[in-house]
């Protein structure tokens, strides 16, 4: 017992030493709770960064939306109040046009297709687009596929969505996507969704298995339909203000640490998807997994027509579709 206590004491002393060795600790935001794959991904990035810089540069992850909802944390990252942010691509849609390409419904045919695009030149190009908006795009994380869930009834076909009210991320593209399916979209911050479903302000929302689980939304919206309309990647960004203060060597270390953390997040993601699916099914969620996606895909034609309007976006989308 004593030995354990002494070991613990030494361990904590070591932690303090390690912590005080950090010359700079970057503040990083995430809306998800501790343990969620994206939170653990950025923590891994921090460990890699410490290693690369002899403990000079560290990252502290403020999980569970401690620094605010995504839209606000993006602004704070642009201002340099927050150094690093792990966010969905969705909330960037209204400010960075290129991010819309990865936020289009059914743009990715599979996870392999998504990885081929993100890990190749198109992925680089979209990350580079952040630098015109006071941000540096560092890396993409996995986020699976988003599907609709609600508190009213099982959705087995597109007609069932008629007139229903769904929360979406604050992006005009997602508002139009829901409208094209015959439903009504209410853009609102993630943190307000649980109570809005509970009080009937909305009928439901849409998200991947781990978010549906960790947010507790499955407790108030037990019908989940695997229509998988979106595969929106997560992105890790750094404030340009923070980036510009770093030496070229440290910039490289940050960039490499972000890239090297991707494989860790992807592995955690795959495990978490399975775990969350099993957990919510066991909790009594009614899952509709046999659903014809064709009418959903066809309904997206006007959404593409409206949002893929500039030549640059048309070209980007064509190249994504042509990627094997």
Interface ranges with ligand GTR (CB under 6 A): 31, 70, 87-88, 90, 143, 169, 190, 207-208, 211, 234
Determine the Cα–Cα distance for residues 175 and 166; give it in Å rounded to an integer: 9
Please state the closest distance from residue 88 (CB atom) to ligand GTR, in A. Answer: 3
Q: How far is the CB of 249 from ligand GTR (least distance, A)?
A: 31
The residue among 34 and 315 lying less far from ligand GTR, judged by its C-beta, is: 34
70: closest CA among 187, 243, 224? 187
Report the nearest approach of ligand GTR to the CB of residue 225 (Å). 16
Nearest approach, Cβ of 210 to ligand GTR (angstroms)? 8
Residue (57 or 173) nearer to ligand GTR, CB: 173
Query: C-alpha distances in angstroms, 161 versus 145, 181, 229?
Result: 19, 7, 13
Task: Please report which helix (H) or strand (E) contains residue 235, including its range.
Answer: strand 234-239
Smallest distance, ligand GTR to C-beta of residue 159, A: 25
Residue with smaller CB distance to ligand GTR, 188 or 246: 188
- Contact between 124 and 213 under an 8 Å Cβ cutoff? The reply is no
Dihedral sign for Cα 315, 121, 251, 238, please.
Answer: positive
Residue 29 CB, shortest distance to ligand GTR, in Å, is 10
**Rounded to the nearest whole angstrom, what is the least distance from the CB of residue 4 to ligand GTR in the complex?**
38
How many helical (H) and strand (E) elements, i.e. helices and strands, does the chain have?
14, 11
Which residue has 């640490």 as its token pair? 257
**318 — alpha (psi -120 to 50), left (phi > 0) or beta?**
alpha
Min. distance of Cβ 125 from ligand GTR in angstroms? 22
d(CA 43, CA 45): 5
Cβ distance to ligand GTR smaller for residue 216 or 302: 216
Q: Decide whether 160 or 234 has the Cβ nearer to ligand GTR.
A: 234
Angle between helices 111-118 and 121-128 (to 10 degrees): 60
Sheet holding 184-187: strands in order across? 184-187, 165-168, 204-207, 146-150, 223-230, 286-288
Cβ-based nearer residue to ligand GTR, 87 or 258: 87
Q: How far is the CB of 208 from ligand GTR (least distance, A)?
A: 5
Q: Which is nearer to ligand GTR, 70 or 227 (CB)?
A: 70
Residue with Cβ nearer ligand GTR (58 or 87): 87
Q: Which residues contact 310 (CB under 8 A, 6 or more apart)?
A: 97
Task: Tell me how far apart the alpha carbons of residues 288 and 221 are, in angstroms, rounded to a whole number.
Answer: 13
Token pair in block for residue 257: 């640490």
Cα dihedral value 286, 292, 294, 298, nearest 10: -50
Instruction: Give whichever of 70 and 273 is closer to ligand GTR, judged by the CB atom.
Output: 70
């Amino acid at each position: 017992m004593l030995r354990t206590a002494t070991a613990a004491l030494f361990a904590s002393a070591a932690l303090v030493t390690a912590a005080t060795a950090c010359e700079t600790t970057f503040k990083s935001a995430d809306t998800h709770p501790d343990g969620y794959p994206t939170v653990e991904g950025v923590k891994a990035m921090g460990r890699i960064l410490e290693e690369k810089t002899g403990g000079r540069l560290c990252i502290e992850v403020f999980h569970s939306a401690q620094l605010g909802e995504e839209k606000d944390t993006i602004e704070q990252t642009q201002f340099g109040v927050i150094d690093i942010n792990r966010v969905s691509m969705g909330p960037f849609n209204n400010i960075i046009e290129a991010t819309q390409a990865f936020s289009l419904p059914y743009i990715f045919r599979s996870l392999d297709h998504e990885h081929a695009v993100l890990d190749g030149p198109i992925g680089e190009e979209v990350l580079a687009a952040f630098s015109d908006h006071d941000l540096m795009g560092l890396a993409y994380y996995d986020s699976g596929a988003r599907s609709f869930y609600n508190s009213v009834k099982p959705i087995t076909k597109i007609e069932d969505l008629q007139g229903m009210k769904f929360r979406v991320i604050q992006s005009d593209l997602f508002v139009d996507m829901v409208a094209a399916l015959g439903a009504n979209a209410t853009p609102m911050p993630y943190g307000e969704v649980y109570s809005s479903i509970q009080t009937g302000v909305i009928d439901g929302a849409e998200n991947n298995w781990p978010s549906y689980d960790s947010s507790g939304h499955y407790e108030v919206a037990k019908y989940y339909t695997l229509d998988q309309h979106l595969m929106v990647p997560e992105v890790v960004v750094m404030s340009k203000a923070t980036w510009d203060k770093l030496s070229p060597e440290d910039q490289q270390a940050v960039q490499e640490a972000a890239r090297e953390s991707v494989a860790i997040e992807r592995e955690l993601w795959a495990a978490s998807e399975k775990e969350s699916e099993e957990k919510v099914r066991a909790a009594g969620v009614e899952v509709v997994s046999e659903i014809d996606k064709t009418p959903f895909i066809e309904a997206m034609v006007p959404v593409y027509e409206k949002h893929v309007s500039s030549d640059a976006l048309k070209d980007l989308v064509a190249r994504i579709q042509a990627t094997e």
